[in-house]
Amino acid sequence: MSDTMTAAARLERLFDNGVFTLLDARVEAGVTTAFGEAAGSPCYAFVQTGEAVTETQGAKIRRVFQLAMKTGAPVVGMYDSKGAKLSEGQAVLNAFGDLLLEANRLSGMVPQISVIMGTCGGCAALLAQTADLTIMGPGGELFVTPPFNLGKTAAFSGSASNAKAGAVQITVGSEEEGIDAARKALSLLPSNNLSAAPHCEFSEPELTEDLLASAVDPGSELELYEAFGQAATTALASIGGVPCGVAGVKGALNRESCVKLARFVRLCDAFSLPVVTLVDSEGFEASSEAEATGAVREAAMLTNAYGEATTAKISVVTGKAVGPVYVALAGRGANADCVFAIEGSVISPLPTAAAVSVLFDERIAAGEDRAALEAEYDATIASAAAAAEAGVVDDVIVPQDLRARLIAAMEMLSGKRVSTVAKKHSNMPL
């Protein structure tokens, strides 16, 4: 990102009307810490200024995490450091250990957002990645092992490669855009896990062939993981002024797409944002390579994330929902509180061709046209209407009614409460 902004300018951009209060204002440590209001809610922030991390810097940042824990306010960290100050040796390592402990304690309690302003490597990279969202632009570097130690250039640790790897959720073109993206994320998230998300101002969208664009409030979308797991689309948005997570699945789900969806659903669930999932998929990626590399693990991770989530979950079958993908993303047993199907969609335990081979084998042997039999199967046995009659979906709707149905469902589910069994956590297949 650009190196033209001072720490004060960065904080002024983050906080409403440029107003903030410094913390430990006279402690010189290569980091500026402050609090104020961002996107209308209390927020803490720290801004590194390019210097090496010292034990004193760690103490300043740690105090921000501790105050956030006490007050239930989000934390925005702006990272730009040359790494640990070697002359302080083990003391700096202990300082990073304390920071990682505090950040992980905060995880799921208050939103944490990392904005990579410059170099962010080693222990600092681990700290930045504990956040719910990581934002990065062209001037940032994010790595655990320095690129030059791996025989790579700085591009190896840049925003494009990290976004493609799924380590960065949002890429931007400038430092200012990165701070603005952090503000937009804060406007769509609650202050903490016990607070409701703020209601957003909205206007009605235009009806288009893009079901997602026709359902969400115009201009509210903040897409996450755009360059990663591209069989799935994930975004924070609002529908009828209510912040939510929206996920769209198109085509076969590969390993990256499963990880993307699982991570996204857990973010939404941590802060009780409703999850709306649009499903058009014939299944998980079918290849010998996927099976040989353990793709079933990521598929199970996805089902765990949806199944464990207690937030409101609404699924819409927009095209095809077949077999395990239907169960994972739209099945009422493992996932959805409400399921709608767009008119003409198909819900089947097997892909159409395979199902026809089993069910209509005698008719195929008698010479009937396979394409006609497949069309018959989709229009009858596997139709949305048949699924509704079987109680598999709540209703069959036309695209023009989708937004109204989602608004009604989210309002109905706004009081959802789920009691879970006593345990530390599930053993998610990671």
Average pLDDT, the chain: 94
Task: Judge whether 85 and 123 are in contact, CB under 8 Å.
Answer: no
| Helix, strand, coil share of the chain (percent; to 5) | 40, 20, 35
Identify the pLDDT of residue 243: 98
Give the model confidence (pLDDT) of 54-86 as tens digits. 999 999 999 999 999 999 999 999 999 988 888
Identify the pLDDT of residue 103: 97
Identify the pLDDT of residue 154: 57
Instruction: Determine what percent of the chain is predicted with pLDDT higher than 70.
Output: 97
Phi, psi of 282 (to 5 degrees): -90, 0
Instruction: Determine what percent of the chain is predicted with pLDDT higher than 90.
Output: 85
pLDDT above 60: residue 141:
yes
Distance CA 328, CA 332 (A): 9
Task: Judge whether 133 and 224 are in contact, CB under 8 Å.
Answer: yes
Name the residue type at position 67.
L
Identify the pLDDT of residue 314: 97
Strands (E) across 30-121 are located at 31-38, 41-48, 75-79, 112-116, 119-121
Look at residue 268 and give its three-state secondary structure.
helix
Overall average pLDDT of the 235-247 stretch: 98
Q: Is 298 or 419 the better-scoring residue by pLDDT?
A: 298
Which domains are present in the chain? 7-187 (3.90.226.10), 197-344+383-413 (3.90.226.10)
Identify the pLDDT of residue 145: 85
Give the model confidence (pLDDT) of 82-135 as tens digits. 888 888 888 999 999 999 999 999 999 999 999 999 999 999 999 999 999 999
* Token reading at 246: 């929206």
Our CA dihedral for 55, 59, 61, 67, rounded to 10 degrees, sits at 170
Query: How far is residue 285 from each of residues 80, 190, 258, 261, measured CA to CA in Å?
Result: 39, 35, 10, 15
Give the model confidence (pLDDT) of 370-428 as tens digits. 999 999 999 999 999 999 999 999 999 999 999 999 999 999 999 999 988 889 889 99
Enumerate the H helices of 284-379 as residue ranges.
288-292, 295-308, 323-329, 352-359, 361-365, 370-379
* Token reading at 419: 């009691």
Each residue of 112-150: b (16+ CB within 10 Å) or e?
bbbbbbbbbbbbbbebbbbbbbbbbbebbbbbeebbeee
Task: Judge whether 62 and 99 are in contact, CB under 8 Å.
Answer: yes
Identify the pLDDT of residue 334: 65
Q: Which of 234, 252, 337, 267 is nearest to 298 (CA)?
A: 252
Overall average pLDDT of the 159-167 stretch: 95
